[in-house]
Amino acid sequence: MTGPRYTQLVASLPATVPFVGPETQERTRNRPFAARLGANENLFGPSPKAVEAMAKAARDIWMYGDPENHDLRHALAAHHRVELENIVVGEGIDGLLGYLVRMLVGPGDAVVTSEGAYPTFNFHVAGFGGTLHKVPYRGDHEDPEALIARARDTRAKLIYLANPDNPMGSWHNAETISRMIAAIPDGTLLALDEAYVELAPEGTAPAIDADDPRVIRMRTFSKGYGMAGARVGYAIGEAGLITAFNKIRNHFGMCRISQAGALAALQDQPHLADIRAKVAAAWDEIGRIASANGLVALPSATNFVTVDCGRDGSFARLVLAELTARDIFVRMPFVAPHDRCIRVSCGRPEDLARFAEALPEALAAARG
């Protein structure tokens, strides 16, 4: 008796889970975390109007979600002042990136990203047989000029750039991104991941014609809108590219509860403004905690702050382990030299108070 006959590509890939979730760690530890500050989640939560809309939609969960995402797409098009044909909705940015790579990347096709940037994109490329070409960061920022140069050298089909950036929380201004788009080689598409842009300073998001064939913008309801568990992302792009998603996407992939929640969240912009204020206050508090312990909090345009532990990756991993032992869940970048840092979500005052209490003990143990 034989098992399934995998493709050569799938047979060659490792079976890995890209992120060990806090739930997995809690099961291993046999106890919960006291502060969940490592998953880039919005701990302040979604709009109460979104919660109410999702609760109401739960009564109709016996029905599939609208396969055209009609109401949400119309609202998004109006919000961004684009046409309906410029919007596609999907299962978070991760799901949309998977569809995009599937449409564009075949075995051996060149794709360009940054060394240490968001790894889920890399898994999609590997899963469809693409060849990843990576460029280093320039300091703590992704390097647009180097990405363009590598794309030109490799004749890449796709470039990935997150602005603001994960894992460092850094960002480029709109003028820098506009210059990058102007320099994109013919035949190359920029996947511009703007997951955190609602939390970024004014002047971060450039004005881009939705029908510009050189770029597709990815947005999400997971960060600023506080709905990571609902898995709602969307992309803004040229109408023909957006239409192409319909060739391969899961047309019933969006839960009707998530659709209702995202629509209500989008319509509650005052709540988003309140979240921005709370995140900014958390930036200041994490900076204060870091400074009080002789560490440096890097400037952030996201719902997390990257904290420089002042040594190398080995030391930062010890700090992370000691925080975990004290029931504080945080994460860290995974590529040097950024792995000198830990990454702390913008939590509620009580979450950050627990972090403040545990950090000096963790540092002392790591230095011991």
pLDDT of residue 1: 78
Rounded to two decimals, the pTM is 0.96
Indicate the residue among 267, 300, 326 that finishes a domain. Answer: 267
SS3 content of the chain, % helix, strand, coil (to 5): 45, 15, 40
pLDDT of residue 113: 98
Q: Evaluate the omega torsion of the peptide bond into residue 48 and state whether it is cis, within 30 degrees of 0.
A: no
Residue 359 belongs to what domain range?
Answer: 19-45+270-367
Indicate the residue among 240, 267, 294 that finishes a domain. Answer: 267
pLDDT per residue as tens digits for the range 36-73: 999 999 999 999 999 999 999 999 999 999 999 999 99
- Phi/psi of residue 232, each to 5°? -125, 115
pLDDT per residue as tens digits for the range 163-186: 999 999 999 999 999 999 999 999
pLDDT per residue as tens digits for the range 247-296: 999 999 999 999 999 999 999 999 999 999 999 999 999 999 999 999 99
DSSP state of 75: H
pLDDT per residue as tens digits for the range 207-252: 999 999 999 999 999 999 999 999 999 999 999 999 999 999 999 9
Q: Are residues 263 and 275 in the same domain?
A: no
Q: Is the pLDDT of residue 17 over 80?
A: no
pLDDT per residue as tens digits for the range 300-334: 999 999 999 999 999 999 999 999 999 999 999 99
Tell whether 9 is covered by a domain: no
Tell whether 314 is covered by a domain: yes
The torsion region of residue 23 among left (phi > 0), alpha (psi -120 to 50) and beta comes to alpha
Alpha-carbon distance of 55 to 47, in angstroms, equals 13
Q: Are residues 184 and 85 in the same domain?
A: yes
Q: How many structural domains does the chain have?
A: 2
Provide the CATH number for the domain around residue 39. 3.90.1150.10
Provide the CATH number for the domain around residue 79. 3.40.640.10
> CB of 164 within 8 A of CB of 343?
no
Q: Is the pLDDT of residue 18 over 80?
A: no
Q: Are residues 114 and 30 in the same domain?
A: no
